Structure 1
Amino acid sequence: MESNKIDDIYDVIVVGSGAGLVGALAAASRGLQTLVIEKTEFIGGTTAYSGSGLWLPGNAAERRAGVDSGPDQARPYLDAIVGDDAPAALREAFLQVGAPMIDELESHEWLGQFYWQGVPDYFEKAPGSLSTGRTIFPEPLDRSALGDLEPLVRRPQWAERSGAEPGPVMTGGQALIARLLLAFVATGNGTIRTNTGLERLVLEGDRVVGVDATTDGGSKTIRARQGVLLAAGGYERNAELRQKYQPEVTDEWSQGAPGNTGDALVAGMEIGAATDLLEEAWFAPGLVVPNERPVFYTSVWSGIWVNDAGERFMNERLPYDRSGHEILRAHRASEVSHLPTHWVFDQRQFDNERAFASPPVAPQSTNWFDVDKFLAAGVLRKADTLEELAELIGIPAGALTKSVEQFNEYARSGKDEAFGRGDAPWDRIIVGMCGSHEDGPNPCLGVIDKGPFYAAQIVLSDLGTKGGLKTDENSRVLREDGSVISGLYASGNTMAPMTGRIYPGAGGPVGSSMVFSYLAALDMAGPNG
């Protein structure tokens, strides 16, 4: 859409305030007057909900920790697991720029130093996989450091849902967003406007020159001299788009931030941008809980997952995105429903004090799994015998009993002969979700024989959709013919991911979003930036 009326002019406009803040900071640090517009009243998006892990091979934090990683070590891993699902040029750009981006971020006073923490790569059999992982994290931050900016930062998901106060120290994604916000404001070249949503992109000829945005005061046209970066998340909270591209999945199951309705994606498509992988998401199992969206909860200790036929069909401790994809694959491949999946366990799960208290797979609030509340809401079923439990949840009793007996044999022997649960480094990483060796030779397996027995529901949740606008290695948005839409960039879940259909390791989404936001800023700044 072309427009002659201009309300404001900036060098760079960033649409969205999650990991795209890295692009905003990089642009503002290079002297570009940069505006961030955020549709909701809070900045941070889904990144603020995250554990803020960043999967970035070869960065300074890894080197300080003595981790032997870098482009040459990580390239075979990404090549093997991504394959042809995304352009190799995107992977190479990611590998080359991640480390210098961290170097630049650590040079800012408010970012400080990141630290490495050993979280295994998610595909343990792929060449180049590291059992120690490549994931780094920002340091926590005292909430008071934000001063008057503190109310702007989106609360952690568990606090937002419960209304609880998150405490005086920001951790995880909140800490990352807060540090980026402080550094961005400190440049003197950064402006943030909340409650300002993207309506459409403004064109002059074939070039994007700004945005039409909606605010409390009406509609505004804001011009960008250098370019517009679309970093507004995916479309996970848009029921119509989910039905179109992912009909088995409902937007009511997503963990994505409330504002993620695909506005930036649609705006790009309206001016001819190419798209890819719109059927994909960063999937994760979601535990159905009373009266709200499912809880991101994976890596069970005790119990098994069975389908409507009462059959176990997977390793319940797979990394969450692999787990979600496996549930979806099994559901599509069978006439038997796997949505929801039935999680069957016994009293041992409740007797293990750590079994519902291990972040990032559970809310960081105490007593969140209230058995009486769950039972009253009908999202948890309880019975004295497995046969009675099967009747309550509508699956064949004989099949459920057979599945449990077979699993118990594996638990007693310490080897899951069917699906290898407990074999991979990731299976064993979340120690608090495992039992002890008193529960058997493999603490990731636990015998199911101590009544009463329970069944909860697992649905296919996600951390956001991941398909989006096609880009080149500089984050420039492309048309179907491969030509560049001048002045338009995309990153994060608005961009078709460089990881294709897979999730390489903890922090893959946030790390890649940061890198391609950074690359967009470098391109907008030009050779002297």
Structure 2
Amino acid sequence: MSSDQDAFDVIVAGSGGGGLVAAFLAASRGLRTLVLEKTAQVGGTTAYSGAGLYFPGSAPIRRAGVEDDVEDARKYLRNLIDDPSREVLQDAYLDAGPRVIDELERDPWFSSFVYGPVPDYYPGHPGATAAGRTIFPPELPVAELGERAALVRGPIPTERFGVDQGPVLVGGRALIGRALSAFLETGHGSLELNTALDGLIVENGKVLGVEAIRDGERVTFRARRGVLLAAGGFERNAELRARYQPPLTGEWSDGAPGNTGDALRAGIAAGAATELLDEAWFVPGVVQPDGLPLFHTGTRGGIWVNGAGERFVNESRPYDQSGHEIVRLHATSGVSHIPAHWVFDQRQLDRDSFGGPPDQPVAPEWFSSGALKKADTLAELAALIDVPLDALRASIERFNSFAESGVDEDFHRGETPWDSMFRYVVGFPARPEQNYPAKPTSGWPNPLVIPIDTPPYYAATVLPSDLGTKGGLKTDEHARVLDTGGAPIGGLYATGNTAAAMSGHVYPGAGTPIGSSIAFGYLAVLDIAGS
């Protein structure tokens, strides 16, 4: 075991956005800080993301000239989350967001964050805004990182499909690259890669360090002031998924491969309480040619049908809501919704492409793998996806009947600010500071409600995926981990998906997961540093 002379002040387990930013904030205060990363690269699930940060009232929003009252945001969260036990967490989060951005922007590596116009996900609730409250990190040329660029985890298209990453880091990779550089350049930061958390050192009820596995050997690191668990959720742990979230599987997740619940188990072993273990940041995932789903942000055309051939959701609603709806209906309706089927026609394919850049033909592997099915008639398509033809035809005919007026009488597709984004774009823009590029509307009143009547017909498979689990260790407003009696466990903190989410069962707006991770990591550092 390390001697006290060799001890660090702070140990952070995990190198996603919350962990790495917290490590920088600790090290910048002169605290000797160690980051443990289980894999060979830093970034975790944050590296896969757009790195939106839901920070109402923050400086980048004000700089963009957008009016945003934090009290409106508080009203929105109160009404939407509807959980008095989480109100203290909401208040801490709303207070921390603008403050941590102010501090980060004083460091040259973080430069200026930028506002992105992503509407709140629940527009009918008091305090919601169509302008949104999400900010993003600026892009970062690879050349500015130098050799450090190789330490940043690649995006999913690179890891799964070999897509070139390009010369510029955007979204989550830009945030991670900036945080890594800022952390290492404090002179007080150390990074251990390929080092997996395996337990906590607890003496007299206080956490004093960690046990880890490095190169197959057990090592220990002591912490004088605190340990911050920021190692993601348990989405890649088959046993825990089966226990808390059947029938979901880690193979369907968009969480980082190393997120197997190591920090969760370590916290529980130290006496921590847990919450929301049945929850995840659910999203719909469209199955790719490699047989696994990929996060699908929103749908412009076609419909989704269940195993009975019936449409069941507004396919363009915010992803967490449609992902939850698939899971809920599969469990309660008596009809299979796993898998669901995305049915569309040649008109949509010509307008929006599929699985690739616009105006390019669909890659052959989509068809050879069976990920995308094609049929000349609806009868053939129904047989291919094994749904009743009469029900499928009735679902399509009813949807088609809405096209003339543009009003989706069943699920109201295209009527919210969020839906309106998909009139013009497919997914989020790669660079949120740019305007959404215009897309043709085909001359229909509602470009999201266009008839499915131009053969051949197509079907893709939709599965419930997630951006990580959102249940975990119970924490207070200082990110201190609480024991089963409600008291803080000395020296132990948690943030990100290792902690139970501030937002409870809902997803208020773009950037809530990473925003929460950074906000509560910041609050942990303030408590550790006594500031």
TM-score range, shorter chain: over 0.9
1:360 — aligned with what?
none
**1:42-61, aligned counterparts within 5 Å?**
42-61=41-60
Aligned partner of 2:396 in structure 1 is 404
Q: CA deviation at 1:148?
A: 2.1
| Aligned partners of 1:289 and 1:295 also within 8 Å | yes
Most deviating of 200-209 and 147-156: 147-156
Structure 2 CA distance for aligned equivalents of residues 442 and 482 of structure 1: 52
Q: Is residue 2:514 matched to residue 1:510?
A: yes
Give the Cα–Cα distance (whole angstroms) in 2 for the partners of residues 374 and 267 of structure 1. Answer: 42
1:310–1:400 contact (8 Å) kept in structure 2: yes
Cα pair distance change 1:85/1:510, threshold 3 Å: farther
2:352–2:358: 8 Å Cα contact kept in structure 1? no
Q: Which amino acid aligns with 1:463?
A: L
Aligned residue for 1:460, secondary structure, equals strand
CA distance in 2, matches of 1:100, 1:84: 25
Distance 1:381 1:147 in 2: 44
Shift of the 7–32 alpha-carbon distance from structure 1 to 2, 3 Å rule, reads closer
In the aligned structure 1, how far is the partner of 2:84 from the partner of 2:236?
Answer: 25
8 Å contact from structure 1 (residues 474, 520) kept in 2 = yes
Distance 1:353 1:340 in 2: 23
What residue is the counterpart of 2:408 in the other structure?
416
**What amino acid maps onto 1:459 in structure 2?**
L
Partner of 2:434: none
Q: What TM-score do you get using the length of structure 1 for normalisation?
A: 0.95
Residue 88 to residue 172, structure 1, CA distance change in 2 (3 Å): same
1:72 alignment partner, SS class = helix
- The residue aligned with 2:452 is 448
Residue of structure 2 in register with 1:186 after alignment:
185
1:8 deviation in Å? Answer: 4.1
Aligned partners of 2:358, 2:238: CA distance in 1, in Å?
Answer: 32
2:417 pairs, out of 420, 425, 442, with: 425
Q: Is the 8 A contact 1:475 1:520 kept in 2?
A: yes
The question of 1:526 aligning with 2:513 is answered: no
- 2:114 paired residue number: 115
2:360 counterpart of 1:348: no
In structure 2, how many angstroms separate the alpha carbons of the residues matched to 1:213 and 1:366? 47
Are 2:285 and 1:286 aligned?
A: yes
Give the match for residue 466 of structure 1: 470
Residues 185 and 66 (structure 1), Cα distance of their counterparts in 2 relative to 1, 3 Å cut: same
Is the contact made by 1:435 and 1:443 (CA closer than 8 Å) also made in structure 2?
no
Structure 2 partner of 1:17: 15
CA distances 1:312-333 after superposition (whole Å, capped 9, x unpaired): 1110001000110111111112
What amino acid maps onto 2:484 in structure 1? E
| Secondary structure, aligned partner of 1:438 | coil
**In structure 2, C-alpha distance between the alignment counterparts of 1:445 and 1:290, rounded to whole Å:** 27
2:375 alignment counterpart? 383
Identity %: 54
User: 1:438 offset after TM fit, Å?
Assistant: 2.5
1:85–1:501 CA contact under 8 A, matched in 2: no
CA distance in 2 between counterparts of 1:366 and 1:88 reads 44
User: For each residue in 1:146-199, what CA deviation from the matched residue of structure 2 results, as whole angstroms up to 9, or x when unmatched?
Assistant: 122121110111112122331111111000000111111111111111101101
Deviation at 1:368, TM superposition (A): 9.6
The question of whether the paired residues in 2 share the 8 Å contact of 1:119 and 1:135 is answered with yes
> Structure 1's 368 and 520: CA in aligned 2 closer, same or farther, altered over 3 A?
farther
Native 8 Å contact 1:86 1:500 kept in 2: no
Contact (CA 8 Å) 1:85, 1:500: kept in 2 or not?
Answer: no
Q: Normalising by structure 2, report the TM-score.
A: 0.95
What is the identity, as a one-letter code, of the residue corresponding to 1:43? V
Relative distance call for 1:367 and 1:281 in structure 2 (3 A) is: farther
Asked if 2 retains the 8 angstrom alpha-carbon contact of 1:227 and 1:488, the reply is: yes
- Give the Cα–Cα distance (whole angstroms) in 1 for the partners of residues 322 and 393 of structure 2: 23
Give the aligned residue type for 2:425: G
Counterpart-to-counterpart distance in 2, 1:370 and 1:396: 27
Go from structure 1 to structure 2 and tell me whether the alpha carbon gap of 1:339 and 1:105 turns closer, same or farther (over 3 Å shift). same
From the superposition, tell whether residues 367 and 518 of structure 1 become closer, same or farther in structure 2 (CA, over 3 Å). Answer: farther
Change (3 A) 1:354 1:367: closer
Q: Deviations over 1:401-438 (max 9, x none)?
A: 00000000112220000000000010111312396332
Aligned to 1:102: 101
Does the 8 Å contact 1:86/1:497 carry over to 2? no
Offset, 1:366: 8.2
1:134 correspondence with 2:126: no
Report the Cα distance in structure 2 between the residues aligned to 1:232 and 1:449, rounded to whole angstroms. Answer: 48
Q: 1:361 — aligned with what? A: none
How far, CA to CA, are the matches of 1:176 and 1:98 in structure 2? 16
Deviation at 1:292, TM superposition (A): 4.5
State the partner residue of 1:199: 198
Partner residue, 1:163: 162
Letter in 2 for 1:375: F
Give the secondary-structure state (helix, strand or coil) at the position aligned to 1:342: strand
SS at match of 2:403: helix
Contact 2:281 2:466 in 1 (8 A): yes
Q: Compared with structure 1, are the counterparts of its residues 51 and 124 closer, same or farther at alpha carbon in structure 2 (3 Å cutoff)?
A: same
Amino acid at match of 1:432: V
| 1:11 counterpart letter in structure 2 | D
* In 1: Cα distance, 2:313 partner to 2:257 partner: 31
